[in-house]
Chains A and B, each alone.
Chain A
Amino acid sequence: MLKRAVKLLRTNISNNGGRSSSSFTYFAEKTPENRGPTEKLNMFQAINNALDLVLRTDPSSVIFGEDVGFGGVFRCSLDLQKKYGKERVFNTPLCEQGIVGFGIGLAVTGTTAIAEIQFADYMFPAFDQIVNEAAKYRYRSGNLFNCGKLTIRTPSSAIGHGGLYHSQSPESYYTHTPGLKIVIPRGALKAKGLLLACIRDEDPCIFFEPKSLYRAATDEVPVGDYECELGKADILRTGTDVTLIGWGPQVHVLLEVADLAKEKLKVNCEVIDLVSLLPWDKQTVINSIKKTGKVLIAHEAPKTSGFGGEIASTIQEECFLHLEAPVSRVTGFDTPFPHVFEPFYLPNKWRCFEAVQNLVCF
């Protein structure tokens, strides 16, 4: 199997006039060099492209989930059934627990099983299968059996007016589960490389696809095969004063905050996209904070037990003597995701900017 980890996404993010959506402005990736031809794709097209590539090159691969035969709610599997047939791309009944359990069964026979859960909010009926079965199959069998060929793709996070059950960011429920890998892309180019890596990775992966990026995130995406390394964070902007950490669409908010801080406060922020939450790239984070001494972590999920808490705790363990201010977190509130208060709930650039200001003035 291909293992051409491509480290092409580390530097030089350019804001080439990214399309803006309600809560952030998308910073497109720099067109990669030496990666062959590229095409302009948004994130759902890039995911479609990755899935297409897998179906074409891996004859054991199958894709299934609610309505995926028609392309899925977010069009990620568009036309794949037409191309590869109903045996390989098929609709399941509406039963998340069944979908994941079934996927584990497929994967444990060596089949590349790519399951779609229609929304991350609907993954909870499958929680037992994910946490008790998928995550522990390898461990409990002493590595005699595993379901590493399982990948669960699911749309997550705020989209604008999604309300209580189409907006949640449930990643930290899953990061609490050793045995899983949790990945969240920030745009089209990364999505393709990361999804390919997840599918080929030998552990069960959950691939959260932030809904707001599906259309808003357009990159020049290499046409060919490539993977982005799992467990590796990306430094999107280097700086010396404050470290800003996020993932998914929040990364774009933080890039904007970095610009704002530079302009208004003459402060140089280092912006890190964590990319993988489980495992997560502690070294990159630690190195950065040893340099800046100040850190802001931002995520959409509620604050209490949000993944930011885990990062903060590690930072104080590893960088205690380097810290010049308390670790700061800007997150969603500890409330259910609200119906009409979404703009107040999200950790937008103003809230993050305010936190940066407080860090600088500490």
Chain B
Amino acid sequence: MTMTPSDSARQRFNQFQSKVDSSPLPSQQNSGNVPRVPVESSGQPSNSNIMPTNFSGFLQRINFSIPPPPLPPPMLLTPVPSAQPYYSSDFNLPISSPVRGILTNWHDPNENNFILEQCNKQESFSTEEILFNSKKTDEKPQIQLYKFSDQLKHFHTSLVKLKTDLENVNLISNELDLASWSESIASLSSQRSFSPIFHSKNGYATEATFEVQPFKLHRLESGPPTTVTLTRDEALHYYTQLQTIRRIEAAAGNLYKEKIIRGFCHLYSGQEAVACGITAIIKPEDKVITAYRCHGWTYLMGATIKSVLCELTGRKSGCARGKGGSMHMYARNFYGGNGIVGAQVPLGVGLALALKYKGIKGVSFSLYGDGAANQGQVFEVYNMAKLWNLPTIFICENNGYGMGTSAERAAASTDYYTRGDYIPGLWVDGMDILAVRSAMQFCRDYCTSDKGPLVVEAATYRYSGHSMSDPGTSYRTREEIQEVRQTRDPITSFREKILNADLVTSDELKKIEVDAKKQVDEAVKFAKLDTEVGLAELAGDVYSAPLENQIRGTTPFTNLNHVRVGPAVNL
């Protein structure tokens, strides 16, 4: 079940957003969609001397106040008897003074706590502690908020979260020009759509709603809902997938360094939310094709971790028997990675025609990078897809770079979601699995109701170099990578979100992390020990029915006999 805030609230929110968007932040002006190294904001308020030094380059101060709205009753999306928010429970802890300080960071990536700046010294507080303190003193903690200048999304969700969790916090404001923002936040929260639902037994939510960063639309009257509901089971499931992919890629990186994986190896770390957000809504009749960053995809589409890692090491238990390697992996409904940039996109459109022709209510997803978006064949099939109204979703994973060339240097327009021109498109925050999921559900519904193709741009980031031979730091700064890791990481932010909504406990997440590591470690061991297929397969599956059974090539072993290893799984 999904709730959308009222239109007026949305409108006000958008107004605010455009105000913030148009504010003269150098880092926004020249960065396109992918935040670059932040530049010191010139428009800082006069009391900027209290800016915490460690964040000074990143932060823009915003003060505001929210008149405490009447406490909404917890929203019950599914009736749970005697459900109660956890903050109504009793704290039997000693009274301490109210928290006063400046909330400078939404999350400490390690601790998942809020960090409060008090008299220039940092202290870490959990949500509970802040609440506890406020409860005990009957005095609202005073908190001033900072936001990362180009991290509106975080700002927004954090505010929403604060409204949910810290009903009693008095947020200080001196600046009235942000009143409309406060108002829209207040009205958003009074939609009551942000309260988690709580289970009576353990005090943890079974379902929660979140607000995702707004989508940008191209030739679409309305877009996907920005308010999304997440169940506890889903949260655990997605977290497992995200973690597992990150682990697989870390393992692949290490195996490459040990020279057990040879040749080319491109890691997906940083981009996990795109794949996981798509597979969250994918149906058995849907089809996917992508480029060479395909290890995580292959796993998500049903291949085992072992078969992914064995393919990487070129061993016989690999999903392509070790014959494809890093860039060429396959699974059911997954038509592969592809080493030739852009070449997979026309194939994806062919998949869509087949679906339509056979009357199957499915869609094909073709993924490609910001670099690949400049290949001519992509435009050729935009035309074909629209001409024949095919159920296909083009997904440009804009990670800011094609090898060492930044998107801005390679593309006349970096609004990749508009580059289908006559094909409607939308932009989504590709670092937020929930945003991607919402977008993809919308797109899938759109395509399966015979409205034709869509072009989606998922704004994301790759942490590693382009491939293992690229350290990835000659064309971008370490700070840039670090900043994305700290502020936009798809896993950390999701983790924080589901923890704060009390959908899961940190113990549960810890367990997932440990399990993922264990599974991947075991698969690594196996991928090292497994053997390669026999030499006979050098001449295996060149054809289905070769006209000559001998594969020519002079050798001391004489010619090789053609063999069929099969069977094909795609048909």
Residues of A within 8 A of B (CB): 66-67, 69-70, 73, 91-95, 97-98, 121-122, 124-125, 160-166, 302-304, 328-336, 338-341, 344-345, 347, 350-351, 354-355
Flag if B371 contacts A94 (CB, 8 Å).
yes
* Residues of B541-565 contacting chain A, CB below 8 A: 542, 551-556, 560
Q: How far is the CA of A339 from the CA of B321 in the complex (A)?
A: 11
Note all chain B residues with C-beta closer than 8 A to A161.
262-263
Q: Interface majority SS on B: helix, strand, loop or mixed?
A: loop
Q: How far is the CA of A274 from the CA of B323 in the complex (A)?
A: 33
Partner of B554, one of A97, A162, A303: A303
Q: Which residue of A lies closest to B403 (CB)?
A: A67
Note all chain B residues with C-beta closer than 8 A to A91.
405, 409-410
Q: How far is the CA of A332 from the CA of B411 in the complex (A)?
A: 39
Flag if B374 contacts A351 (CB, 8 Å).
no
Flag if B339 contacts A164 (CB, 8 Å).
yes
Lowest 4 A-B CB distances belong to which pairs? A333-B553, A161-B262, A93-B374, A161-B263
Q: How far is the CA of A340 from the CA of B322 in the complex (A)?
A: 7
In whole Å, how far is B347's beta carbon from the nearest beta carbon of chain A? 14
On whether A165 and B410 interact (CB within 8 A), knowing A67-B405, A94-B341, A350-B556, the answer reads no
Flag if A331 contacts B554 (CB, 8 Å).
yes
Note all chain A residues with C-beta closer than 8 A to B538.
333, 335, 338, 341, 344-345
In whole Å, how far is A299's beta carbon from the nearest beta carbon of chain B? 11
Flag if A333 contacts B539 (CB, 8 Å).
yes
Flag if B553 contacts A303 (CB, 8 Å).
yes
Q: How far is the CA of A339 from the CA of B532 in the complex (A)?
A: 11
Q: How far is the CA of A166 from the CA of B325 in the complex (A)?
A: 12
Flag if B542 contacts A335 (CB, 8 Å).
yes
Partner of A163, one of B327, B340, B341: B327
Note all chain B residues with C-beta closer than 8 A to A70.
404, 474-475
On whether A95 and B551 interact (CB within 8 A), knowing A67-B405, A70-B475, A161-B263, the answer reads no
Q: How far is the CA of A334 from the CA of B542 in the complex (A)?
A: 9
Apart from A93-B402, A331-B553, what are 12 other A-B pairs with CB-CB below 8 Å? A66-B405, A67-B404, A93-B374, A94-B375, A122-B340, A163-B264, A164-B324, A304-B552, A332-B553, A334-B552, A335-B551, A341-B538
Note all chain B residues with C-beta closer than 8 A to A304.
552
Q: Interface majority SS on A: helix, strand, loop or mixed?
A: loop
B372 on the A face (CB < 8 A): yes
Q: How far is the CA of A334 from the CA of B552 in the complex (A)?
A: 6
B377 on the A face (CB < 8 A): yes
Note all chain B residues with C-beta closer than 8 A to A336.
542
Flag if B314 contacts A340 (CB, 8 Å).
yes
Note all chain B residues with C-beta closer than 8 A to A328.
554
Partner of B374, one of A94, A302, A339, A345: A94
Flag if B554 contacts A93 (CB, 8 Å).
no
Note all chain B residues with C-beta closer than 8 A to A335.
538-539, 542, 551, 553
Q: Please encode chain B, from 276 to 289, with 1 for each CB lying within 8 Å of some chain A CB and 0 for all others.
A: 00000000000000
On whether A97 and B556 interact (CB within 8 A), knowing A161-B262, A161-B263, A339-B323, the answer reads no
- Among A163, A328, A330, A350, the one with the most B-chain Cβ atoms within 10 Å of its Cβ is A163
Note all chain A residues with C-beta closer than 8 A to B532.
340
B425 on the A face (CB < 8 A): no
Partner of A94, one of B322, B372, B537, B554: B372
Note all chain B residues with C-beta closer than 8 A to A67.
403-405
B196 on the A face (CB < 8 A): no
Q: List 20 A-B contacts (CB under 8 A).
A: A70-B474, A92-B410, A93-B371, A94-B374, A121-B340, A125-B376, A161-B262, A164-B324, A166-B263, A302-B552, A302-B553, A303-B552, A303-B554, A329-B554, A332-B553, A335-B538, A338-B538, A339-B263, A340-B323, A354-B555
Note all chain B residues with C-beta closer than 8 A to A92.
410
Q: Which residue of B lies closest to A162 (CB)?
A: B263
In whole Å, how far is B259's beta carbon from the nearest beta carbon of chain A? 9
* Residues of B310-361 contacting chain A, CB below 8 A: 314, 322-328, 339-342
In whole Å, how far is B549's beta carbon from the nearest beta carbon of chain A? 12
B535 on the A face (CB < 8 A): yes
Note all chain B residues with C-beta closer than 8 A to A350.
556
Q: How far is the CA of A338 from the CA of B534 in the complex (A)?
A: 13
Q: Which residue of A lies closest to B292 (CB)?
A: A165
Flag if A125 contacts B377 (CB, 8 Å).
yes
Note all chain A residues with C-beta closer than 8 A to B552.
302-304, 333-334
In whole Å, how far is A69's beta carbon from the nearest beta carbon of chain B? 8
Q: How far is the CA of A88 from the CA of B380 in the complex (A)?
A: 30
On whether A339 and B409 interact (CB within 8 A), knowing A303-B552, A328-B554, the answer reads no
On whether A339 and B314 interact (CB within 8 A), knowing A91-B405, A303-B554, the answer reads yes
Q: Which residue of A lies closest to B553 (CB)?
A: A333
Note all chain B residues with C-beta closer than 8 A to A73.
403
Partner of A165, one of B340, B402, B555: B340
- Among A70, A94, A97, A161, the one with the most B-chain Cβ atoms within 10 Å of its Cβ is A94
Q: Which residue of A lies closest to B370 (CB)?
A: A94
Q: How far is the CA of A341 from the CA of B541 in the complex (A)?
A: 14
Q: How far is the CA of A84 from the CA of B555 in the complex (A)?
A: 49
* Residues of B429-463 contacting chain A, CB below 8 A: none
Q: Please encode chain B, from 511 to 549, with 1 for each CB lying within 8 Å of some chain A CB and 0 for all others.
A: 000000000000000000000110101110010000000
Q: Which residue of A lies closest to B338 (CB)?
A: A165
In whole Å, how far is A73's beta carbon from the nearest beta carbon of chain B? 8
In whole Å, how far is B258's beta carbon from the nearest beta carbon of chain A? 14
Flag if B376 contacts A94 (CB, 8 Å).
no
